[in-house]
Amino acid sequence: MTWGCTHIHPTMVNFLMYTGILFHILAGALLWGESLTLYSWVGGLLIVLGSVALLRQ
Q: Could you read off the pLDDT of 18-31 as tens digits, one per residue?
A: 777 778 888 888 89
Full-model pTM: 0.54
Q: Could you read off the pLDDT of 39-49 as tens digits, one per residue?
A: 988 988 888 88
User: Where are the alpha helices (H) located in 1-57, listed in sequence order?
Assistant: 2-7, 10-32, 38-56
Cα–Cα dist 42/3, whole Å: 31
